[in-house]
Amino acid sequence: MRPRQQPLPTSCEVRVEDLDHLGALHNLLAALNDEYASVSKLSMLTSQQPVLTARVMKHARNRSASVDTLNAALQVIGNRGLEKVLLEYLEDLTTLKAENESLKEAK
């Protein structure tokens, strides 16, 4: 009997709590720079960040509608696709962090 898989996240919008994942992104970036990093490792590191996972799935489904797992999505988009999605995610997190800090200063 296969273990039950958790449903994949669907929201692509960054939230304040996603700022807590900035440290985990360093591990993902290091794995992307490791030519021996497996899809399984990239999948594990990506799955720790629900918004990033949702964005990877969306990007992969734009290429192939039959993608139903994160591993499959990463195989479809490859490292370059993951880097593209990751860069957009980092930009959104940076913007959110700046907006959040502006709001705190205004108080």
DSSP 15: -
Q: What spatial distance separates the first Cα and last Cα of the chain, rounded to whole Å?
A: 54
Q: The domain containing residue 59 runs over which residues?
A: 20-106
52 belongs to a structural domain: yes
90 belongs to a structural domain: yes
Report the percent of the chain where pLDDT is more than 70: 92
11 belongs to a structural domain: no
Number of domains within the chain: 1
pTM metric for this prediction: 0.85
2 belongs to a structural domain: no
pLDDT in tens, 44-94: 999 999 999 999 999 999 999 899 999 999 999 999 999 999 999 999 999
Confidence band of 1 (pLDDT split at 50, 70, 90): very low
12 belongs to a structural domain: no
60 belongs to a structural domain: yes
How buried is residue 99: exposed, middle or buried, by Cβ count under 10 Å (0-12/13-18/19+)?
exposed
86 belongs to a structural domain: yes
Dihedral, CA of residue 42, residue 45, residue 51 and residue 55, to nearest 10: 0
* pLDDT recorded at residue 50: 92
Of the two residues 106 and 45, the one the predictor is more confident about is 45
